[in-house]
Amino acid sequence: MSRDQYQMFINLVQYYQMERRWSIKRLLLQTFTAACHLDHIIVDIRLTSLLPLEIVKDMKAHFADLDLFKQLVKMLTIILLLGQLMPVNHQDYLGVHFASFLL
């Protein structure tokens, strides 16, 4: 997985951003989840990528689909679980408004 400095996973995050079909996005979320369990460096890569912002956007747009929402929450939890500092622009999306949305 670490070949080419994890470029394969960076490409998958970019693909997730561009993809509109939920059948594909679900598979990508499952892939991200499995990869994060295998290597903690991938969690760091996910945290500093735009994936958390995309997940928040998808959560807000599709909160009625409970199964999809659970997958998105699970992925976001894995990304934030290690307690690493996130980029400043992520804090705007994951701040008070997002906490209010979840509650």
Any idea where the domains of the chain sit in the sequence? Answer: 3-102
At 27, the pLDDT band (50, 70, 90 cuts) reads: very high
- pTM to 2 decimals? 0.83
Which tokens is 26 given?
């679900």
**pLDDT value for 88:** 80
Whether the per-residue pLDDT at 1 is higher than 80: the answer is: no
Count of CA atoms in the C-beta half-sphere (13 A) of 65: 12
Residues 6+ apart with CB under 8 A from 97: none
Q: Which residue has the higher pLDDT, 29 or 87?
A: 29
**pLDDT value for 87:** 80
**pLDDT value for 15:** 92
Average pLDDT of the chain, as a whole number: 86
**pLDDT value for 24:** 92
Whether the per-residue pLDDT at 84 is higher than 80: the answer is: no
* Over residues 71-84, mean pLDDT: 85
Phi, psi of 20 (to 5 degrees): -110, -15
Which tokens is 38 given?
């295998």
